[in-house]
Amino acid sequence: VEIVLLLSFLNARTARATAQLALARQDRLVRGLAQRDALLQEARQDLARALDVAGVGRFSDTSVGSFQLGNVIGRGAMGEVYEAFHAQTRKEAAVKLLHAHSLRERGVVKRFVREAKMAASLDTPNVVRVLEVGGLEREGDLPYIAMERLRGEDLAERLRRQGRMEMVEVVAMLVQVGRGLMAARAAGIVHRD
């Protein structure tokens, strides 16, 4: 009886260890599949966004303030961002304009104007620099914010390329973001994005 109990115990222990290994392997596979699904979904969203941006916008090849507008480089809930260059200096810029439907909503225009004025008041290397704000003088003018044109990759692109970031990189990035948020807070701006 004792030998049978001992063999049963050893058999159960081996079965338990095998089951734990199988569960750990399954957990790794499920996590890997979930990560791939998330990356695929993100890639689909990026593709949809890229197809939506698709170059030419309704204000492409026109002038706004001191800037000549080019292709659309981004779209959001409130408006579009165009690549641009200064008419005299030919320096690159990014110009944000409101959507046509947003121009009809007084509250949205007021928020855009407030955003433009607050962004122009910030002077820190951690926040995009505002070059010019205009279209606010007369009723019916097209409000715009001209900002420095930045090039690089966003966090999603970096994570797709690299997979993971080292802790030192994450801390350095968070310090830079924190400095930008502190400058905004010192100016009385509440960042909502």
Catalytic residues: 193
The H-or-E segment that residue 68 falls in is strand 67-75
Burial environment of residue 111 by CB neighbours within 10 A (0 to 12, 13 to 18, 19 or more): middle
Tokens of 85: 């260059």
One-character DSSP codes across 121-188: H---TTSPPEEEEES-SSTT---EEEEE---S--HHHHHHHHSS--HHHHHHHHHHHHHHHHHHHHTT
Measure CA of the first residue to CA of the last residue in the chain; give whole Å: 70
